[in-house]
Structure 1
Amino acid sequence: MARVIKVSSYGAGVLPRVPSAVPHAEVEARLRRSSMSWSALRPDWWLDNVLTQLDHVREGRLFFPAGDATVSTVDARDLAEVAVAEILADVPMGGSLILTGPQSVTFPELAERLGRAADVPFTWQDDVAPEWPDYYAQGMRKLFGSYRSRGSAPRTHVIEEVLERSARTIEQFGREVLRPALEAASETVGR
């Protein structure tokens, strides 16, 4: 029997849906109607989103229009390992799986903890990045509006159950991913 692992979005299970979550919800609905074995991995918020703003982070800023939203951050490495485990499992968890990190944080907390771990202090700016096109900026405002309206970020133990270890922390991501990415970007700029 075929087995499908879909990287989805937390927003696929939230109404009203933000535009970026609609395609994920549609694919999940098709999977539910199918005869395939499937798992839809719904990370709350990817830490790796920070990597799209390396230039800003080097300048001491990080842009997301989050207001007072809280997120439960997920390292993409954990998501990848859960996907592999679900593919290889004799009996996968299956269904829609909400993936969260070890705790919920606000964006000022996220920026402070990442900056300390990566040894590159930066602050969060409650706004869209200046270079984002209007359609993308509007989509991000809607996305973070949904994070604010839900209240506290969810907390699940899916990563721990599937991988039999704790989810990676913000600090691990800062040291192991963000710092090397910033160093590599600085070397490229210096050439």
Structure 2
Amino acid sequence: MRDRILVTGGTGKTGRLLAEQLTASGAGARIATRRPSAVDHVRFDWDDMTTHGPALDGVSSVYLVAPTDRAEHLPVMLPFLEQAVMRVPGRLVLLSASSLNEDGPMMGKVHAWLHAHAPRWTVLRPSWFMQNVTTQHLPSIIGEGRIYSATQGGRVPFIDAADIAAVAVRALTETTLASDDHVLTGPRALTYDEVARAISEVSGRAVRHHRLSADELTDRYLGFGMSRHYASVLAGMDDAIAHGAEDRTTDEVERMTGRPATDFASFLIDQRAVLSGGQP
């Protein structure tokens, strides 16, 4: 019988790629979304408990992506997690972050809960996504020739979301994998100054890194409509990078998938049209 895997955040950066890779591997993906628009979609809302049970019907494993509109995730995710532990025979796989330790803030509390209550679990802790330069940073890259951060000269081992999805496929389908967390990185740690230079070389447009203080970055996020608490948490992550928190690499992508992690230069070449102001 083919596995049916529930993918929360199924239209997001990793969820969409995961669903594609699961289908290619022969597993079935059920995409959980607030606005279902296809036969393999199911309506799902973390805040609406009436959507939780139907989403779990017939599911063998679950990929968990926390809601992005808040800084603390366990309270809103807990009702669904409690149902999933009771009803799902396979593994619960949480997308967290390399900067978030077990029982730390945000997804760290969910990590700790899974460790304590789920029979089979995996927590993926990737570093910052390469795709950030083609999504959240793209407007300032195209419109101003700038990338804004409070990372100063700190280094980040950016990772391709497709590599995260590939690791998630194994975690969701490999029954003998031990429960554990995995810090996932690309092959090289880069400063945002180096990122800006690499984008300039590939795109043909001059791009530079504009260094902000953590307070200035918080104000920038507030201008985007974020709550002050969430904005300060995100700015604090940049400040941690500035102090070396992300300056490391691991071989977890290769160990879990059997192939090396994607390098940043190759990713940028693939995204040249987007970074030049065109379409994907």
TM-score greater than 0.5 by the shorter chain: yes
Alignment of 1:13-28 (within 5 A): 13=101, 22-28=105-111
Quote the residue 1:85 is aligned against.
Answer: 170
1:40-94 Cα offsets, whole Å, 9 max, x none, are: 1111211222221212111311111111211111111111111112111242254
List gaps (5 residues or longer) in structure 1. 186-191
| 2:139 counterpart letter in structure 1 | D
Q: Could you tell me which amino acid in structure 1 is paired with residue 166 of structure 2?
A: E
Q: Does 1:55 align with 2:134?
A: no
Residues 119 and 78 from structure 1, CA distance in 2 versus in 1: closer, same or farther, beyond 3 angstroms?
farther
- Give the alignment partner of residue 6 of structure 1, picking from 73, 79, 94: 94
Alignment equivalent of 1:64, drawn from 143, 149, 155: 149
Larger Rg: 2
Does structure 2 retain, via aligned residues, the 8 Å contact 1:86–1:94? no
- 8 A contact 1:86–1:93 mirrored in 2: no
Q: Percent of pairs identical after alignment?
A: 21
For 1:129 and 1:139, the matched residues in 2 are separated by: 8
Asked if the contact 1:46/1:75 (under 8 Å) is kept, the reply is: yes
User: Quick check: which one's helix share is greater?
Assistant: 1
Partner Cα distance (1:172, 1:12) in 2? 28
Counterpart CA distance in 2 for 1:118 and 1:5 is 36
Contact 2:187/2:263 (<8 A) preserved: yes
Question: 1:11 is paired with a residue of what secondary structure?
Answer: coil
Gaps of at least 5 residues in structure 2 are: 1-88
TM-score (norm 2): 0.58
Task: For 2:99, give the aligned amino acid.
Answer: G
Q: TM-score, normalised by structure 1?
A: 0.82
**Larger RCO of the pair (alpha carbons < 8 Å, separation 6+):** 1
Q: How far off is 1:110 after superposition?
A: 1.4
Match of 2:190 among 94, 102, 105: 105
Structure 1's consecutive aligned runs of 4 or more residues displaced over 6 angstroms after TM superposition are: none
Supply the distance in 2 between the matched residues of 1:91 and 1:116 (Cα, whole angstroms): 44
Q: CA deviation at 1:178?
A: 5.7
**1:183 and 1:57, CA in 2 relative to 1: closer, same or farther beyond 3 A?**
same
Q: Which amino acid aligns with 1:36?
A: P
Question: CA, structure 1 residues 44+126, in 2 after alignment: closer, same or farther (shift >3 Å)?
Answer: same
Task: Decide whether the 8 Å contact of 2:99 with 2:245 is kept in 1.
Answer: no
For 2:262, the equivalent position in structure 1 comes to 168
Structure 1 counterpart of 2:279, from 172, 184, 187:
184
- When structure 1 is superposed on structure 2, of 112-121 and 41-50 the one drifting more is 112-121
Aligned residue identity for 2:114? L
* Mean CA deviation greater in 87-96 or 107-116: 87-96
- Aligned-partner residue type, residue 109 of structure 1: E
- Does the 8 Å contact 1:115/1:121 carry over to 2? yes
Residue 129 to residue 168, structure 1, CA distance change in 2 (3 Å): farther
Q: Which amino acid aligns with 2:97?
A: S
Q: 1:163 to 1:75 in 2, by over 3 A?
A: same
Aligned length: 180
**Does the aligned pair in 2 maintain the 1:117–1:172 contact within 8 Å?**
no
Q: State the alpha-carbon separation in 1 of the partners of residues 93 and 205 from structure 2.
A: 35
Matched residue SS, 2:141: helix
Equivalent residue, structure 1, for 2:116: 33
User: What is the root-mean-square deviation in Å for CA atoms of aligned residues?
Assistant: 2.5
Deviation sequence 1:119-153 (CA, Å, 0-9, x none):
44311111239853162553333111212234561
